[in-house]
Amino acid sequence: MPFWVARVACLVLVLSGSMARADDLADFNAAVESVSAHNRVAIGYLRTGNADLASLEIDRLRDSWSRFSENFSGKRPAAFDGNGLYGKLFTAVNARLVGADIMLKTGRLDAARDALNSVRGDLYELRKASGVVVLADCVRDANATMDALMVYNDRALDWDNSDIRSGVAQKANGYGTLLNRCDEIASATVREAPEFRRLVDGAKASLLLIPKAIASRDADLLHRVLIELRSFDNLLAFRYG
Protein backbone atom coordinates (compact mmCIF):
# COMPACT_ATOMS: atom_id res chain seq x y z
CA MET A 1 0.00 0.00 0.00
CA PRO A 2 1.47 3.40 -0.95
CA PHE A 3 2.52 5.54 2.01
CA TRP A 4 0.09 8.35 1.22
CA VAL A 5 -2.85 5.92 1.01
CA ALA A 6 -1.99 4.50 4.44
CA ARG A 7 -1.70 7.99 5.87
CA VAL A 8 -5.09 9.03 4.49
CA ALA A 9 -6.64 5.85 5.87
CA CYS A 10 -5.23 6.61 9.33
CA LEU A 11 -6.53 10.17 9.14
CA VAL A 12 -9.99 8.93 8.23
CA LEU A 13 -9.96 6.55 11.19
CA VAL A 14 -8.91 9.34 13.56
CA LEU A 15 -11.56 11.70 12.27
CA SER A 16 -14.21 8.99 12.41
CA GLY A 17 -13.29 8.28 16.02
CA SER A 18 -13.43 11.98 16.92
CA MET A 19 -16.84 12.35 15.31
CA ALA A 20 -18.11 9.29 17.14
CA ARG A 21 -16.97 10.68 20.49
CA ALA A 22 -18.63 14.01 19.65
CA ASP A 23 -21.83 12.14 18.86
CA ASP A 24 -21.47 10.40 22.22
CA LEU A 25 -21.78 13.77 23.98
CA ALA A 26 -24.89 14.68 21.99
CA ASP A 27 -26.41 11.30 22.86
CA PHE A 28 -25.38 11.77 26.50
CA ASN A 29 -27.00 15.21 26.71
CA ALA A 30 -30.19 13.92 25.09
CA ALA A 31 -30.35 11.00 27.52
CA VAL A 32 -29.74 13.29 30.50
CA GLU A 33 -32.56 15.55 29.32
CA SER A 34 -34.90 12.55 29.26
CA VAL A 35 -33.96 11.81 32.89
CA SER A 36 -34.18 15.47 33.86
CA ALA A 37 -37.65 15.89 32.37
CA HIS A 38 -39.02 13.26 34.78
CA ASN A 39 -37.02 14.78 37.63
CA ARG A 40 -38.47 18.25 37.02
CA VAL A 41 -42.03 16.95 36.99
CA ALA A 42 -41.48 14.94 40.18
CA ILE A 43 -40.02 18.00 41.91
CA GLY A 44 -43.03 20.03 40.78
CA TYR A 45 -45.47 17.50 42.27
CA LEU A 46 -43.51 17.40 45.52
CA ARG A 47 -43.53 21.19 45.68
CA THR A 48 -47.34 21.22 45.46
CA GLY A 49 -47.72 18.33 47.92
CA ASN A 50 -49.07 15.79 45.43
CA ALA A 51 -47.40 12.66 46.80
CA ASP A 52 -49.27 10.16 44.62
CA LEU A 53 -48.33 11.78 41.32
CA ALA A 54 -44.80 12.42 42.61
CA SER A 55 -44.47 8.70 43.35
CA LEU A 56 -45.53 7.77 39.81
CA GLU A 57 -43.09 10.26 38.32
CA ILE A 58 -40.23 9.06 40.52
CA ASP A 59 -40.89 5.54 39.23
CA ARG A 60 -40.56 6.88 35.67
CA LEU A 61 -37.43 8.78 36.70
CA ARG A 62 -35.90 5.61 38.13
CA ASP A 63 -36.63 3.69 34.93
CA SER A 64 -35.16 6.46 32.80
CA TRP A 65 -32.06 6.64 34.99
CA SER A 66 -31.63 2.85 34.76
CA ARG A 67 -31.60 3.03 30.96
CA PHE A 68 -29.19 5.95 31.09
CA SER A 69 -26.84 4.05 33.40
CA GLU A 70 -26.87 0.99 31.15
CA ASN A 71 -25.89 3.10 28.16
CA PHE A 72 -23.34 5.45 29.72
CA SER A 73 -21.83 4.05 32.93
CA GLY A 74 -19.23 2.30 30.78
CA LYS A 75 -19.28 4.70 27.85
CA ARG A 76 -17.72 8.01 28.81
CA PRO A 77 -18.02 10.79 26.18
CA ALA A 78 -14.69 12.40 25.31
CA ALA A 79 -15.81 15.68 26.88
CA PHE A 80 -15.60 14.02 30.31
CA ASP A 81 -12.16 12.45 29.91
CA GLY A 82 -10.22 13.04 33.13
CA ASN A 83 -13.31 14.20 35.02
CA GLY A 84 -13.37 12.32 38.32
CA LEU A 85 -17.01 13.22 38.88
CA TYR A 86 -18.14 11.04 35.97
CA GLY A 87 -17.64 7.71 37.70
CA LYS A 88 -19.07 9.04 40.97
CA LEU A 89 -22.22 10.29 39.26
CA PHE A 90 -23.88 6.90 38.94
CA THR A 91 -23.39 5.86 42.56
CA ALA A 92 -24.44 9.28 43.82
CA VAL A 93 -27.64 9.48 41.79
CA ASN A 94 -28.60 5.90 42.65
CA ALA A 95 -28.30 6.79 46.34
CA ARG A 96 -30.31 9.99 45.92
CA LEU A 97 -33.13 8.16 44.15
CA VAL A 98 -33.30 5.58 46.93
CA GLY A 99 -33.31 8.40 49.48
CA ALA A 100 -36.06 10.27 47.64
CA ASP A 101 -38.21 7.15 47.57
CA ILE A 102 -37.73 6.54 51.31
CA MET A 103 -38.49 10.16 52.16
CA LEU A 104 -41.61 10.11 50.01
CA LYS A 105 -42.92 6.91 51.60
CA THR A 106 -42.41 8.36 55.09
CA GLY A 107 -44.26 11.55 54.16
CA ARG A 108 -41.22 13.82 54.15
CA LEU A 109 -41.95 15.52 50.85
CA ASP A 110 -39.50 18.40 51.34
CA ALA A 111 -36.66 15.94 51.99
CA ALA A 112 -37.64 13.94 48.91
CA ARG A 113 -37.59 17.12 46.85
CA ASP A 114 -34.15 18.02 48.24
CA ALA A 115 -32.85 14.62 47.13
CA LEU A 116 -34.15 15.15 43.59
CA ASN A 117 -32.76 18.68 43.47
CA SER A 118 -29.41 17.17 44.45
CA VAL A 119 -29.58 15.02 41.31
CA ARG A 120 -29.79 18.25 39.32
CA GLY A 121 -26.78 19.49 41.28
CA ASP A 122 -24.73 16.37 40.53
CA LEU A 123 -25.31 16.75 36.79
CA TYR A 124 -24.62 20.49 36.97
CA GLU A 125 -21.27 19.99 38.72
CA LEU A 126 -20.25 17.23 36.31
CA ARG A 127 -20.87 19.38 33.24
CA LYS A 128 -19.36 22.49 34.81
CA ALA A 129 -16.13 20.64 35.60
CA SER A 130 -15.76 19.70 31.93
CA GLY A 131 -16.98 22.95 30.41
CA VAL A 132 -20.08 21.32 28.93
CA VAL A 133 -22.83 23.93 28.54
CA VAL A 134 -26.54 23.10 28.33
CA LEU A 135 -29.71 25.12 28.81
CA ALA A 136 -30.59 23.44 32.12
CA ASP A 137 -27.37 24.70 33.72
CA CYS A 138 -27.94 28.24 32.49
CA VAL A 139 -31.44 28.14 33.97
CA ARG A 140 -29.96 26.91 37.26
CA ASP A 141 -27.53 29.84 37.29
CA ALA A 142 -30.44 32.19 36.58
CA ASN A 143 -32.37 30.68 39.49
CA ALA A 144 -29.47 31.39 41.85
CA THR A 145 -29.25 35.00 40.64
CA MET A 146 -33.00 35.38 41.05
CA ASP A 147 -32.66 34.15 44.64
CA ALA A 148 -30.13 36.92 45.26
CA LEU A 149 -32.42 39.50 43.66
CA MET A 150 -35.38 38.40 45.81
CA VAL A 151 -33.48 39.56 48.90
CA TYR A 152 -34.65 43.05 47.92
CA ASN A 153 -38.32 42.09 48.01
CA ASP A 154 -38.93 44.33 51.00
CA ARG A 155 -41.37 47.21 51.06
CA ALA A 156 -39.28 48.80 53.82
CA LEU A 157 -36.14 49.13 51.69
CA ASP A 158 -33.86 51.99 52.67
CA TRP A 159 -33.71 53.77 49.33
CA ASP A 160 -31.28 56.32 50.79
CA ASN A 161 -28.69 53.55 51.01
CA SER A 162 -26.67 53.65 47.79
CA ASP A 163 -25.49 50.07 48.32
CA ILE A 164 -29.09 48.88 48.21
CA ARG A 165 -29.88 50.84 45.07
CA SER A 166 -26.76 49.58 43.30
CA GLY A 167 -27.36 46.04 44.59
CA VAL A 168 -30.83 45.91 43.08
CA ALA A 169 -29.53 47.26 39.77
CA GLN A 170 -26.56 44.88 39.62
CA LYS A 171 -28.57 41.77 40.47
CA ALA A 172 -31.25 42.73 37.93
CA ASN A 173 -28.61 43.30 35.26
CA GLY A 174 -27.00 39.98 36.12
CA TYR A 175 -30.31 38.19 35.78
CA GLY A 176 -30.94 39.85 32.44
CA THR A 177 -27.50 38.80 31.20
CA LEU A 178 -28.23 35.19 32.13
CA LEU A 179 -31.62 35.28 30.42
CA ASN A 180 -29.90 36.43 27.23
CA ARG A 181 -27.34 33.65 27.60
CA CYS A 182 -30.05 31.02 28.11
CA ASP A 183 -31.81 32.36 25.04
CA GLU A 184 -28.62 31.89 23.02
CA ILE A 185 -27.88 28.41 24.41
CA ALA A 186 -31.37 27.04 23.73
CA SER A 187 -31.78 24.93 20.63
CA ALA A 188 -33.64 26.52 17.73
CA THR A 189 -36.69 24.37 18.50
CA VAL A 190 -36.80 25.45 22.15
CA ARG A 191 -35.94 29.07 21.38
CA GLU A 192 -38.86 29.38 18.99
CA ALA A 193 -41.35 27.53 21.20
CA PRO A 194 -44.22 29.80 22.37
CA GLU A 195 -43.83 28.66 25.99
CA PHE A 196 -40.12 29.47 26.11
CA ARG A 197 -40.65 32.82 24.42
CA ARG A 198 -43.45 33.73 26.83
CA LEU A 199 -41.26 33.04 29.86
CA VAL A 200 -38.03 34.61 28.63
CA ASP A 201 -39.59 37.63 26.93
CA GLY A 202 -41.97 38.13 29.86
CA ALA A 203 -39.08 38.16 32.32
CA LYS A 204 -37.11 40.58 30.14
CA ALA A 205 -40.11 42.92 29.98
CA SER A 206 -40.44 42.84 33.76
CA LEU A 207 -36.76 43.66 34.20
CA LEU A 208 -37.26 46.88 32.25
CA LEU A 209 -39.40 48.18 35.13
CA ILE A 210 -36.70 47.83 37.78
CA PRO A 211 -34.75 50.98 36.80
CA LYS A 212 -38.05 52.88 37.07
CA ALA A 213 -38.66 51.44 40.55
CA ILE A 214 -35.16 52.46 41.64
CA ALA A 215 -35.40 55.96 40.18
CA SER A 216 -38.80 56.59 41.78
CA ARG A 217 -37.88 54.70 44.96
CA ASP A 218 -41.09 52.77 44.58
CA ALA A 219 -40.91 49.70 46.83
CA ASP A 220 -44.41 48.60 45.87
CA LEU A 221 -43.51 48.57 42.17
CA LEU A 222 -40.30 46.68 42.92
CA HIS A 223 -42.29 44.16 44.95
CA ARG A 224 -44.73 43.53 42.10
CA VAL A 225 -41.92 43.17 39.57
CA LEU A 226 -39.95 40.76 41.73
CA ILE A 227 -43.01 38.56 42.36
CA GLU A 228 -43.64 38.49 38.61
CA LEU A 229 -40.00 37.66 37.90
CA ARG A 230 -40.01 34.90 40.50
CA SER A 231 -43.02 33.37 38.79
CA PHE A 232 -41.30 33.40 35.39
CA ASP A 233 -38.13 32.05 36.99
CA ASN A 234 -39.93 29.17 38.72
CA LEU A 235 -41.66 28.19 35.48
CA LEU A 236 -38.35 28.26 33.60
CA ALA A 237 -36.88 25.94 36.21
CA PHE A 238 -39.90 23.64 36.11
CA ARG A 239 -39.86 23.36 32.34
CA TYR A 240 -36.21 23.72 31.34
CA GLY A 241 -34.05 23.56 34.48
Q: What is the pTM of this model?
A: 0.80
Mean per-residue pLDDT, 160-164: 93
What whole-number distance in Å separates Cα of residue 204 and Cα of residue 106? 41
| The pLDDT of residue 132 is above 80 | yes
CB 46 within 8 A of CB 116: yes
Question: What confidence score (pLDDT) does residue 241 get?
Answer: 83
Contact partners, residue 135, CB within 8 Å, separation at least 6: 182, 185, 186, 187, 190, 240
HEC per residue, 75-111? CCCHHHCCCCHHHHHHHHHHHHHHHHHHHHHCCCHHH
Percent of the chain residues past pLDDT 90, beyond the cut: 85
Phi, psi of 40 (to 5 degrees): -60, -45
* Span 27-60, pLDDT tens digits: 999 999 999 999 999 999 999 999 999 999 999 9
Mean per-residue pLDDT, 86-93: 95
Q: Which amino acid is at 6?
A: A
**CATH fold of 3-132:** Four Helix Bundle (Hemerythrin (Met), subunit A) (1.20.120)
Asked which of 8-22, 88-102, 219-233 is least confident by mean pLDDT, the reply is: 8-22
Mean pLDDT of the chain: 89
| The pLDDT of residue 18 is above 80 | no
Question: What confidence score (pLDDT) does residue 74 get?
Answer: 87
| The pLDDT of residue 19 is above 50 | no
Give the start-to-end residue ranges of the domains of the chain: 3-132, 136-240
CB 241 within 8 A of CB 139: yes
